Amino acid sequence: MIDYRIKTFLKLCETMNYRKTAEQLNMTQPAVTQHIHFLENEYKCKLFIYDRHTLQITKEGILLKNYSENLQYQEEKLLEQMEIAKQKEYAIGATKTIGEYVITDKIAEYLKTPTNNILIEIDNTNRLLSKLQKGELDFALIEGFFDRNEFGSEIYKSEPFVGVCSNTHHFANKTIPLESAFSETLFIREKGSGTRTILEQVLAEQNYTTSNFMRNICISNFGLMSQLIRENLGITFAYEAILKNQPYLSPFYIEGLNIVRDFNYVYLDNPNSISIVNKFKEIL
């Protein structure tokens, strides 16, 4: 079994606060400190330091965190495998574009087999990566950025990243200068969304930000966003896949920019996770 002091260490990595860690583990704060000191003595390094009264994890702490997350995940998989009578259920995550517009048909095909069970978490990139770190997901299909030093990954597919407008908008199916889009209201996803991060990066590469648009409206739900775009109240930028089954929306393109990004399988880099990803690759 994973050492109880490692569990304390992982909880402190999550909260970055000794008091909150003690409360969540029903321990005293001195006991948390004692567990961390034990590990620091064991590994002969500092795992956390204070910088201007803010707790920071060290490089050595990050190494132990990555190792411990893998260890915790593999222990959970071992316990599942030892419960022979328990029916297998895989837990996967998908960012909103992928979950709502890309894998629906494939999941339906998978569920046609009566013995196949699956738990699907649809959320933004940041929250899915957090769940992966905690071992709550077997893998996630991610459209945004992630730390390749912390996670294993494989490409699922590549997808064009385009402008989206009403099919009655004068941008519809046209290629326009980027500056022409700035006269529009921009609908943008919430912070932590892979789609938003990619748009911000693309704009930054051209020395612009979202503030260059006439107005920014943050909406986390594409269903609502698509209705507003349909009414010619603004535009957005998203993966071309979302235009499937959207007869009232059209793409538009930016001069000189052919933006294509990868959808990735992202997982903790260990044999159990890789095995599960390989099983799903045949279907997804």
**SS3 (DSSP) at 263:** strand
Pull the structure tokens for residue 181: 């889009």
- The CATH number of the domain holding residue 40 is 1.10.10.10
CB 36 within 8 A of CB 60: no
The residue behind tokens 């385009």 is 162
Residue 85 pLDDT > 70:
no
The residue behind tokens 């959808």 is 263
- The CATH number of the domain holding residue 224 is 3.40.190.10
Q: Does one domain contain both 186 and 217?
A: yes
CB 11 within 8 A of CB 24: yes
Residue 84 pLDDT > 60:
no
* Each residue's pLDDT tens digit, 221-253: 888 999 999 999 999 999 999 998 899 999 999
Which CB contacts under 8 angstroms, 24+ apart, belong to 52-58?
55/16, 55/17, 55/18, 57/13, 57/16
* Each residue's pLDDT tens digit, 145-182: 898 888 999 999 999 999 999 999 999 999 999 999 99
In this prediction, what percent of the chain has a pLDDT beyond 70?
96
Q: Does one domain contain both 209 and 89?
A: no
The parent domain of residue 253 ranges over 159-260
Overall domain count for the chain: 3
Q: Does one domain contain both 95 and 57?
A: no
